[in-house]
Chains A and B, each alone.
Chain A
Amino acid sequence: DGGITQSPKYLFRKEGQNVTLSCEQNLNHDAMYWYRQDPGQGLRLIYYSQIVNDFQKGDIAEGYSVSREKKESFPLTVTSAQKNPTAFYLCASSIRGGISYNEQFFGPGTRLTVL
């Protein structure tokens, strides 16, 4: 079965700690994305990557970092510099290229709570 996995589903961390969220896909997609979702604010783009070893900041990249060493994997680190890290984090992937029908496929999400 092809798809996107995110782990863990729920994550709790103490304030001041860095935490890394996992995202893996076996859809053979070149492009991957990280979003943050807060109540009443929709999905906001944190980082995206079009190809291995390359990634760009989205609209709210401050306090986050990513890597793209393998096509299948796009981990997101929430650093202690992120002021309000408690949120629902969604990873997505798509075929590369802004043409036609290329919808994004989403993982099940990780709900991060910082205590």
Chain B
Amino acid sequence: GQNIDQPTEMTATEGAIVQINCTYQTSGFNGLFWYQQHAGEAPTFLSYNVLDGLEEKGRFSSFLSRSKGYSYLLLKELQMKDSASYLCAVRDPYGGATNKLIFGTGTLLAVQP
């Protein structure tokens, strides 16, 4: 079976740095995505990792270790608008030519003043 684990909730302070972890157990690997979702809205794409290492995009970075089945999303200089759910998803290794994703339950981040 395929399984993705993320913490349910996290709290951080405005201006600080927060790291959201994601571990996955899948029979193969073909890419990992991070999405941001504000309450009641559509998820929006943040990052994609398929090779080991760090991908940086402004205040957001994502890291992948395929040997450990582990990824994290790093958010720097936190702003109040970063309060949202962060969804980790892996491409279904049995998806073949499809682009099916398997999602974790998401991590609800609350940024406090």
Contacts and interface: CB of A to CB of B under 8 A. Distances in A.
Interface stretch (B12-20, B64-72, B74-82, B96-104): B96-104
B48 interface: yes
A98 B100 contact: yes
Task: Name the interface size band of chain A.
Answer: 20 to 34
Contact of A45 (B45, B96, B100, B105): B100
The CB with the most chain A CB atoms within 10 A, among B92, B97, B100, is that of: B100
A70 to B, nearest CB: 20
A94 B99 contact: yes
A50 B97 contact: yes
B96 A98 contact: yes
Interface of B: 8, 30-31, 33, 40-45, 48, 50, 87, 89, 91-92, 95-101, 103-106
A31 interface: yes
A90 interface: yes
9 contacts: A40-B105, A42-B103, A43-B43, A48-B100, A98-B30, A98-B96, A98-B98, A104-B101, A109-B40
A56 B75 CA distance: 36
A115 B89 CA distance: 32
A105 to B, nearest CB: 7
Contact of B95 (A4, A90, A98, A103): A98
A77 B87 CA distance: 26
A28 to B, nearest CB: 15
Nearest to A93: B99
A13 B44 CA distance: 29
A111 B100 contact: no
Given A109-B42, A111-B40, A97 B105 contact: no
